[in-house]
Amino acid sequence: MAANIIRVALIGLSSNATTSWAAVAHLPYLQSAQGQTQYKIVALLNSSREAAEKARSHFNLPSSVKAYGDPALLAADDEIDLVSVVTRVDNHYAAVEPSIRAGKAVYVEWPLTESLKRSVDLLGNRKGRDTSIIGLQGRLSPVASKIREVLASGRIGKVLDSEVRGFSATGCGQKPGTLLPGGMEDMFTQRAIGGNHVTILYAHMIDLVHSVLGEFKDFHSKLQIRWPKLGVVDSDGTQLRTLRNDIPDLISAHGELAPGVANIQEGATLSVFFRNGPHFKNESSFVWYIQGQTGELKITSPYGPTLQAASLPGVKIELHDNITDEVTEIPWESEWKDWQNELPTPGAKLVGEMYNRYAQWFKQGENKEVPEGRDWPRLEDAIHRQEELEKMLSDFDKTP
């Protein structure tokens, strides 16, 4: 095997999964010309060895790729350098814990686990020396990079405040208060599973915003369950059954931004609104304003609050110059690298960038440092984001 090729095991690459993020986001990069200079898939782990063998055959992987059904056996394999976990969140802990304890590097899709407590336990004593990856890839979006560049340039002066509004109809039927069946109705009605509107959609949105503007110094939130019972409907709107729902579907958060980010005025505030369900007709499902002393940015997307879809037409960054009173659109598509443009989906482009950055660091050898601007989100970042969500949900649970 070529020197510095990272031997990777994929957990969750399935031929019949309800969702296929492993197939549409991870596999394209790992099998691309760029990816194959850095990585080699050497193992699969599924619910059983037979399921892993079926996935290997379905995706035309070489027969040399090992098939595992037991996470402990995979963790004991010394010929694996990186374990990528792309399963439903309530399976993350059991799938990855043996590999972490064995000292392997891991790439875990967001959320890390179904609860802050389990995530803290999973990280263990790695804090401060964490070289693994968490799937908060929206931070690496070229849209986010371009916004940071504009703010750093001072084109709108120091940031005074920011407002974000996001809407998502993920899993929703045609009418408010309904869900389309698809094998994930339990995820979007049972908070204990850990993967839902709050922990996935809102979290990806707020993480990207924080990656640009910095964290909250302090904040207050108000959560609401507007639909305590959800009707499950088929594709033509026929109601099949009713499920109880304990997941908030509306979030409002407001707070002061912490100091430390360049060109953010001390005391600047951030206001965030998220609603699960359709947005007003003909309006954007994601709108983000950043007001500065001399101008304002407006970022809009017709695809909802997760900019993992930001290579699609329609995502705009606009700048209103208060002095000239002119509005100009700021192009960002050229931020994609050539090898990213060869990948089929926005998810693959950003997941690929995560893998690419990790590989560039890995190839430097021992005692390496990450080059400036080439870092990636780590498991420690997942803990921090889950702490923010935990505070919101804990305050919600205390509300009379």
All residues at 6 or more sequence positions from 222 whose CB lies less than 8 Å from its CB, including other chains: 251, 252, 253
pLDDT value for 128: 58
Pairing of strands 316-321, 295-301: antiparallel
Q: How far apart are CA 79 and CA 8, in angstroms?
A: 9
Residue given tokens 């192009």 in the structure block: 331
Question: Parallel, antiparallel, or unpaired for β 239-244 and 105-108?
Answer: unpaired
CA dist., res. 31 & res. 50, Å (int): 23
- State in Å, rounded, how far the first CA of the chain is from the last one: 61
CATH code given to domain 6-109+339-377: 3.40.50.720
Domain spans of the chain?
6-109+339-377, 139-335
CB 131 within 8 A of CB 369: no
The model carries a pTM of 0.95
Buried b (16+ CB within 10 A) or exposed e, 112-124: bbbbbebbeebbe
Q: Are 152 and 259 in contact (CB under 8 A)?
A: no
Residue 325 burial (C-beta neighbours within 10 Å; 0-12, 13-18, 19+): exposed
Cα four-point dihedral sign 296, 302, 305, 309? negative
CA distance 385 to 41: 30
Residue labelled with tokens 């707070």: 255
Fold match between domain 6-109+339-377 and domain 139-335: no
Task: Name residue, tokens 């931070």.
Answer: 139
Distance CA 201, CA 172 (A): 13
Distance CA 45, CA 87 (A): 10
Name every residue whose Cβ is closer than 8 Å to that of residue 235 and which is 6 or more positions away in sequence: 180
Output the pLDDT for position 366.
63
Beta bridge partners of 301: 286
Q: Going residue by residue through the chain (400 aa), what tens digit of pLDDT does each one get? A: 566 899 999 999 998 765 689 999 999 999 999 999 999 999 999 999 999 999 999 999 999 999 999 999 999 999 999 999 999 999 999 999 999 999 999 999 999 999 999 999 999 877 656 789 999 999 999 999 999 999 999 999 999 999 999 998 777 877 888 888 887 899 999 999 999 999 999 999 999 999 999 999 999 999 999 999 999 999 888 889 999 999 999 999 999 999 989 899 999 999 999 999 888 989 999 999 999 999 999 999 988 888 766 567 789 999 999 999 999 999 999 999 999 999 998 899 999 999 999 999 998 876 678 888 889 999 999 999 999 999 999 999 998 7
Q: What is the CA radius of gyration of the chain?
A: 21
Single out the residue of 171, 152, 309 nearest to residue 243, CA to CA. 171
To which residue do tokens 């080699």 refer?
40
Question: Which stretches of 245-374 are assigned E, i.e. beta strand?
Answer: 250-257, 264-276, 286-292, 295-301, 316-321, 326-329
Q: Provide CATH code, domain 139-335.
A: 3.30.360.10
Q: Are 234 and 336 in contact (CB under 8 A)?
A: no
Q: How far apart are CA 319 and CA 289, in angstroms?
A: 10
Q: Is residue 331 helix, strand or coil?
A: coil
Is the Cβ–Cβ distance between 259 and 269 less than 8 Å?
A: no
Secondary structure class of 254 (helix, strand, coil):
strand
Longest dimension (CA), the chain: 66
Can you tell me the distance from the alpha carbon of 171 to that of 163, in angstroms, rounded to the nearest whole number?
26
pLDDT at 201: 93
Q: Which residues contact 114 (CB under 8 A, 6 or more apart)?
A: 89, 90, 92, 93, 192, 193, 194, 195
